Amino acid sequence: MTSTKARILETSLVLFNRQGERNVTTNHIAEALGISPGNLYYHFRNKGVIVSALFDRYQQQLLSLLEAPQGPLSWQVKVHYFEGLLASMWQYRFFHRDLSHFLHAEETALATRYQQFVEAILVRGTVIYEKLRSSGILALDDEQLQGLMVNTWVLMSSWASLVHGLRPDAAANEELDESLMRHGVYQIICLEEPFLKGEARDHLAEMKERYRAAHNTSELLLGHAVELSPSGC
């Protein structure tokens, strides 16, 4: 990858995250880089190709994170996976905010690749959950394990879209934006909570506190409290 091509991708990612992909044109990207639109088009013929290239980077990063673990797992390893998921969600948050748009846009041609990506995520994630079960971190049967894996991915992939639909002010406030993304990991912990055992159960409060952005999730999302449960989950 040439230096200019890499700079185009990095700048595009920053602009997409800050302003939303639909609000950023190739002219905006070229201007931010201090290059001509023609120079940009030499490397990427349109914005859809840039989005596609960024998706490839995101896909490689996340699949690398979810490589099959070696040996027994601990609650600290769970935190490692959470941190990796959070880093990926944050770095490529523009993609999750408007996923449906990207999957149906002809210029990005992502639909088939995204389906294959999700299949790989579910397979690798299931292996990790199976290892957590065999390590005494989770207590659940095969059906529950499959359901937990699917629900975890649904929550992770849709969380950014949900929070930015409810809190459009977050896009212009990086501190709030990151806080909302961290809270998405907290919601994953809430999904797992009924199945935790052993040291993971012992450190549940610590894991929640690490990622919880507010004691009342509805207040975080809606701007006012709606008492759903004492814990906020």
Instruction: Tell me what the pLDDT averaged over the chain comes to.
Output: 89
Q: For residue 149, how many other CB atoms are within 10 A of its CB?
A: 20
What is the pLDDT at residue 177?
85
Q: How confident is the model at residue 201 (pLDDT cuts 50, 70, 90)?
A: very high
Mean local confidence (pLDDT), 68-87 = 85
Q: pLDDT per residue over 103-118, tens digit each?
A: 888 777 888 999 999 9
Q: pLDDT per residue over 10-36, tens digit each?
A: 999 999 998 989 999 999 999 999 999
CB neighbour list of residue 174: distance below 8 Å, 6 or more residues apart: none
Does position 100 have pLDDT exceeding 60, yes or no?
yes
- Pick the residue with more confidence: 44 or 69? 44
**If DSSP codes are grouped into helix, strand and coil, which group holds residue 161?**
helix
Helix (H) or strand (E) holding 73: none
Mean local confidence (pLDDT), 199-207 = 93
Domain with CATH 1.10.357.10 in the chain: 47-222
Q: pLDDT per residue over 124-150, tens digit each?
A: 999 999 999 999 999 999 999 999 999
Does position 231 have pLDDT exceeding 60, yes or no?
no
Is 47-222 a domain of CATH 3.30.70.20?
Answer: no
CB contact at 8 A, 131 and 191: no
What is the pLDDT at residue 79?
86
- Give the number of C-alpha atoms closer than 13 A to the C-alpha of residue 89, restricted to the C-beta side: 26
Is 1-45 a domain of CATH 1.10.10.60?
Answer: yes
Q: pLDDT per residue over 35-62, tens digit each?
A: 999 999 999 999 999 999 999 999 999 9
List Cα–Cα distances, 44 to 30, 53, 77, 108, 110, in angstroms. Answer: 11, 9, 39, 12, 16
Domain with CATH 1.10.10.60 in the chain: 1-45
What is the pLDDT at residue 144?
97
Percentage above 70 pLDDT, the chain: 95
